[in-house]
Amino acid sequence: MLSLKQIQQLLNHDIEQNHQVIINQLSSDVVLINQISHYIIHSGGKRLRPLLLMLVARALAYKGQAHTKAAAIIEFIHTATLLHDDVVDESALRRGKDTANNVFGNAASVLTGDFLYSRAFQMMVELDQMKIMQILANATNKIAEGEVLQLLNCNNPDITETQYMEVIYCKTAKLFEAACDVASIIADAPTSTQHALRQYGIHLGNAFQIADDVLDYTADSNTLGKNIGDDLAEGKVTLPVIYALQGSLDKEKALIREAIEQGHHPEMDKIIQIINQSGAIEYATQKAQQSAKLAIEALIVLSDSVYKDALISLAHIAVERTH
């Protein structure tokens, strides 16, 4: 299996070009926009979504350079969602650093997120492919729906696994799916291949998000870059919590429900321990692994190559990472 660093080295030229596109497109006459955009773009993220788009394009034997601009569009959309997310969640930390809203304020963060969304759509127009615009416009809309769904589900201990999966599809998997879809179009892949790669993106996104939700209860806070149990403290009901609610004793179940309904609970350490001892971590991890397996199976449509190997490795990395 390739490591993330090895995958990045494989695409070193593409990544450099993508980085340059990002830097060029961040330019604004408004100094504060430049400051906030650069702050979050350079805050240590893996840039997994643009990497995914460029990998799929190369796995389809694409020889051009349009994929590096398309990958920048994907990154701008993702970055805009992070800026808005942190304001909604009142988050203070992301990737071990102060969030942009914590440094620059909520209003500036929201408006810079709007700038990144609008810049992404300007770049879509430059690609001059209506199908790509349609995919990314639909994805952006679906992500916004996911944000609202998550807001509605907040502090509700009766959220089901089906409802949870709907939210993570909208919030996370949809952009993974869009990255694969756009790469397929740029590479002029057959319809059947496009469909299979969309499935890869969906399952990879699901695996990534479920694993992320597991890490909120199992990782080291310094490695994770945020406080353990932050999701529960914000009233978010994720898969480990849903499972723990089903399998815990009534007294423990009542405590978890209180934490969901109230947010920051005085017995948070005890509640995290209950979740860890309930089998919820093992259950959620298994679900993430199943999604990763489905993602890998979808790659059967690709010819063997080092890029296909990298996509397979990416599915493993999604569930085996520590942050």
Q: For 174-222, how does the pLDDT look when each residue is reduced to its tens digit (9 = 90+)?
A: 999 999 999 999 999 999 999 999 999 999 999 999 999 999 888 665 5
Report which of 26, 83, 72, 313 is spatially closest to residue 182, judged by C-alpha positions: 72
Contact indicator for 237, 256 with CB cutoff of 8 Å: no
Q: What is the dihedral of CA 147, 150, 152, 154, to 10 degrees?
A: -140
Cα–Cα distance, 133 to 129 (Å, whole number): 7
Burial 269-306 (b: 16+ CB within 10 A, else e): eebbebbeebebbebbbebbbebbebbbebbebbeeee
Which tokens is 117 given? 């969304």
**pLDDT tens for each residue of 279-310:** 999 999 999 999 999 999 999 999 999 999 99
Q: Which of 118, 100, 89, 105 is nearest to 36 (CA)?
A: 100
The residues near 148 (Cβ < 8 Å, ≥ 6 apart) are: none
Using N-to-C axis directions, what is the helix angle for 239-247 and 161-168, rounded to 10°?
170
Q: For position 225, what pLDDT does the model report? A: 54
Tell whether pTM > 0.85: yes
Helices 191-218 and 161-168: angle between axes, nearest 10 degrees: 120
- Which range is least confidently modeled, 32-41, 85-94, 277-286? 85-94
